[in-house]
Amino acid sequence: IVRFNAQLKRWEASDVSRHDLSDRADDLLKPALRLSTEISHAYADLLQQMTHLSTFAELRTDPLTGVLNRRAFDESLEKLLAAHQGDELPLAIAMLDLDHFKRVNDEQGHLAGDRVLQDMAQLVKACLREGDVLARFGGEEFLVLLPGVLLADAHPVAERLRALVSGAPLDDGGTVIGVSVSIGIAE
């Protein structure tokens, strides 16, 4: 801009017509305008990509608990099975079902039930290994994929999860709600 202003002053001092002066100013400004347009387009592309990623994440995430949803779980399972096809690597799966959850909703209200689901998801997520997959299957049911885990080794994991959830005082903002969870496992 300083260079542009200096050049503009030199042209104004000379015997250049207003039309020529305007054309010369346009010539000086064209690269800056081109760059500005490129930046604007790049910014618009970036916003579009961010929106796409956000939408993609929303399609794969359970909005209440923040863990994967059933669709994303199915995709993860397919990818794991395809990646290890023929490898004979074990894969255990655990299904967690909150016991008597309807009673929590009926007696404490659906907001309390939502908080219990959120708390449970965070408790379970915190004790899983990197690479394990946690998803909300539906309602009060959650699935955990345990790659590389044999059925015999899944028993202690399931018991640890059961004890963790059953021993946790999940709080609905005033009333402590005692919950328990049943877990089924398969390989």
User: Which residues participate in catalysis according to the annotation?
Assistant: 140
Q: Please give the Cα distance from 119 to 64 (Å, whole number).
A: 11
What are the tokens at 139?
Answer: 């309602």
Q: What is the largest CA-CA distance in the chain?
A: 93
Q: Please give the Cα distance from 110 to 141 (Å, whole number).
A: 16
C-beta separation of 162 from 183 below 8 A: yes
Q: Across 16-61, where does the E strand assignment appear?
A: none
Q: Please give the Cα distance from 95 to 181 (Å, whole number).
A: 10
**Token pair 């899944």 is at which residue?**
154
Q: Please give the Cα distance from 151 to 163 (Å, whole number).
A: 18
C-beta separation of 121 from 142 below 8 A: yes
| Closest by Cα among 154, 10, 3 to 144 | 154
